[in-house]
Amino acid sequence: MGAVTSANSSSSPVPTPWGLVILLGSLTGMGPLAIDMYLGTLPQIAETLSATPAAAQATMATFLAGMAIGQIFYGPASDRVGRRAPLLLGSAIFLAASVGCALAANIEQLMVWRFIQALGACAGGVVARAIIRDRFDHLESARMLSLMMLIMGLAPILAPLLGTALLSLGGWRLNFWFMAAFGVAVGLAAFFQLKESRSEATAVQAAKENPFQAYFALAHQPRLVGYALAGALNGATLFTYISASPGLIMGTYGISTAAFPIVFGLNAIGIVGSGQLNRMLLRRVGPDPVLARASLVAACIGVVLVLAAVTGIGGGWTVLPLIFLLLCSFGFMQGNTMAGALNVDPTRAGSISAAMGALSFATGALASSLAALFHDGTARPMALVMLAALVGSALALRFLALPRAAQP
């Protein structure tokens, strides 16, 4: 797959490189696939491995921890040695760990293999975002990242349905065999189709400093910190929803196990749709004005969601549509915050991508843990955590990331 010429003018969009978008979206999708595909199999995992429901749920926590930790290493490595090698290494680790998960004899082994699986899966997202910045300018990067959400969005839409189907065909282990096959497919595609895109300036910069120095330098750039916090805190609402959704949808609101993937998938469709609407808006409006308005709208929806959850008015018929609207903000926020951060210091694109990814998963793990800690069988804890995250996201944008001209 040939290199794509960087856009030099935001006024004339470059032709869409669909092959690159599909490949990078698939590589980034390893993490979401491994999360969403096995959510509906947790009860069977607990039963088969003679584990408690809490222990089965802990396999999700270990995966999120692996996603947060692994990114810290892949980012600087991609700046130093290039983009291809970390991607191929991550795909190989994901493949091997997926096989390990499929063969796990007890819940402890599954936890370990899930952690290792995440260490492989996170390479795709980190390096793919850096490749996008290698090849495109700020505006085009935002457009390409939004377009990638169209591919990545298939995971939360299709993965629960596929996971349920595979569960009925061959049990929960078949899910991990499918993940292994997916790892083989994307790894081979990257090996044969993806060319090196790291710039000489990035290589020179990486040679001058170790990873700790790179992260230290990034932490002292307020605009970058603002973009990172805004994206991570908005993303925390998605992690909170994912972790709480089985109990909320099937437990609190009594929706059947068969219907759960449909409800889950509808929210994913909303995220994908908003991402594509964002891409169209960027033809007329810059990423920063979109961010400023989307963050305020999301915070307002968060306030209404808390009121609905606290009062109980309408039950699930009120709460679930509000969650849908709130999660749609993810499509406007994630690509634009990532593109903004990568534009602050393009020569450290890998490290920026890694730092934002790690912060996103760490914040998501914290938010979902808080919602679980205060779980009371209602939507209140989840709604309150979401509102706090959305307000923090809007404040980070307003006071750190955005120039005054971009604010409404």
Q: Is 106 helix (H, G, I), strand (E, B) or coil?
A: coil
Phi, then psi, of 398 in degrees rounded to 5: -65, -40
* pLDDT tens-place string over residues 94-152: 999 999 999 999 999 999 999 999 999 999 999 999 999 899 988 889 888 888 877 77
- Helical H segments across 199-286, by residue range: 200-208, 211-219, 222-245, 260-281
pLDDT of residue 299: 97
* Range of 29-33, 156-160, 164-168, 392-396 with top mean pLDDT: 392-396
Pick the more confident residue, 300 or 52: 300
Angle between helices 84-102 and 53-81 (to 10 degrees): 160
Question: Which homologous superfamily is 18-406 in?
Answer: MFS general substrate transporter like domains (1.20.1250.20)
Q: Annotate 304-333 with b (16+ C-beta within 10 A) or e (fewer).
A: ebbebbeeeeeebebbbebbbbbbbbbbbb
This prediction's pTM: 0.83
Q: How far is CA 136 from the centre of its chain?
A: 21
Is the model's pLDDT at 9 over the cut of 50? no
Query: Residue with structure tokens 């929960």?
Result: 172
* pLDDT tens-place string over residues 18-70: 889 889 989 998 998 898 888 778 888 999 999 988 788 788 878 988 988 99
Is the model's pLDDT at 346 over the cut of 80? yes
Is the model's pLDDT at 6 over the cut of 70? no
Burial of 376 by CB count in 10 Å (0-12 exposed, 13-18 middle, 19+ buried)?
exposed
Is the model's pLDDT at 243 over the cut of 90? no
Distance CA 246, CA 264 (A): 9
Could you tell me if 330 and 231 are in contact, meaning their C-beta atoms sit under 8 angstroms apart?
no
Q: Give the lowest-confidence range in 18-22, 294-298, 338-342.
A: 18-22
Q: How confident is the model at residue 12 (pLDDT cuts 50, 70, 90)?
A: low
Q: How confident is the model at residue 342 (pLDDT cuts 50, 70, 90)?
A: very high
Q: Would you give the DSSP letter of residue 39?
A: G
Q: Which of 295, 287, 354 is nearest to 328 (CA)?
A: 295
Distance CA 25, CA 31 (A): 11
**What is the residue extent of each domain of the chain?**
18-406
Question: From the CB of residue 345, how many other CB atoms can be counted at a distance below 10 Å?
Answer: 18
Say how many Å lie between the first and final Cα of the chain, rounded.
41
Is the model's pLDDT at 181 over the cut of 50? yes
Could you tell me if 231 and 341 are in contact, meaning their C-beta atoms sit under 8 angstroms apart?
yes
Q: Which of 149, 82, 103 is nearest to 330 (CA)?
A: 149
**What token pair was written down for 374?**
């205060």
pLDDT of residue 14: 62
* CA triple 8-10-13, angle to 5 deg: 90
Distance CA 349, CA 58 (A): 32
Is the model's pLDDT at 239 over the cut of 90? no
Which residues neighbour 44 within 8 Å (Cβ) at sequence distance 6 or greater? Answer: 167, 171, 172
Distance CA 206, CA 86 (A): 15
